[in-house]
Amino acid sequence: MKVLWAPWRMDYILGEDKTPGCIFCPAPGESLAERLVLFNGNLTRIMMNKYPYINGHLLVSPRRHTPGLDDLTPAEMLDLLGKVRDAMAILKRVMHPDGFNVGLNLGVVAGAGVESHLHFHIVPRWNGDTNFIPVFADVRVIPEHFRQTYERLAPHFQALPDEDQTCVSLK
């Protein structure tokens, strides 16, 4: 019998690792690396999902605490979507996925875990990343610890320019 080892999930399962307040709004002086923040721009923040569907699962949010697309300024909208594109380009370069699921969950009934702060999910996908294990064992296999993934991605995100109204292509 093979054992799947993911000890960091127990905190999530038991509910003992819940960050107080909004996960997208770190407190002043709080370690951004501890929060898995990869990019902290003037208008947009990019962070890793601490409880990912798969390695490289990122969350892209406006810095301003706001619940919906219609609440964003034109500059925030442009920067947010530009950073989604930039994040995907970095994931392509570093992790080589075959595709992506990208989306918003707006409202609790749509699956929003944090309803009060708009955020995109970027989930890299690889051919064969779905198999029998989730179906039969209700287990998801994540082959790399999220801290190792953070260390691999962080230098690429730190190199991103922070231009409030100009989207930067990383091609």
Enter the tokens of residue 60.
């892209």
How many angstroms separate the CA atoms of 135 and 91, rounded?
27
Q: In 122-138, which positions are buried (b, 16+ CB within 10 angstroms) versus exposed (e)?
A: bbbeeeebeeeeeeeee
User: Both tokens of residue 82?
Assistant: 């530009």
Catalytic site residue 119? yes
Asked if residue 120 lies in contact with residue 84, where contact means CB atoms within 8 angstroms, the answer is yes
Pairing of β 44-48 and β 58-62: antiparallel
Q: Estimate the share of the chain in helix, then strand, then coil, as percent rounded to the nearest 5.
A: 30, 15, 55
Q: How far apart are CA 162 and CA 40, in angstroms?
A: 9
Pairing label, strands 44-48, 37-40: antiparallel
Question: Per the residue annotation, which of 119, 121, 145, 156 is the catalytic one?
Answer: 119
Q: Which residues are annotated as catalytic?
A: 119
